[in-house]
Amino acid sequence: MVDTMLSCDLLQASLDSAIGTILVVSDDTDFIPPLVAAAGICKGTVAVVAPNGTLGQSMQTLLNAKGISLFDLEDQSGTE
């Protein structure tokens, strides 16, 4: 239920022109598909914060390719 609610909120927020940034903090990959969809709609910034390595290299590559900023909770330097 929570994943479905997060998905709906992500998509709804991506359609709202008053929202400039969508930020997700999670180490769960269930949010990746709606996050990618939101990035395709949103005119602002879409970012994800997760503990280092929890997303895996393939997920990080996908998110980077879609223009989604990644931030590591441990080092807070971010990669794009």
Of 49, 43, 36, 48, the closest CA to residue 20 belongs to 43
Is the model's pTM score more than 0.75? no
Note the pLDDT of residue 15: 92
List Cβ neighbours of 2 (8 Å cut-off, separation of 6 or more).
Answer: none
How far apart (Å, rounded) are the C-alpha atoms in residues 79 and 64?
8
Going along the chain from its start, the domains and CATH numbers come out as: 2-72 (3.40.50.720)
Of 20, 13, 79, 16, the closest CA to residue 45 belongs to 20
Query: In a structure prediction context, what are the per-residue pLDDT tens digits for the chain, which is 80 residues long?
Result: 788 898 899 999 999 989 888 888 887 778 888 888 988 888 777 888 877 667 888 888 888 888 888 887 665 554 55
Note the pLDDT of residue 74: 67
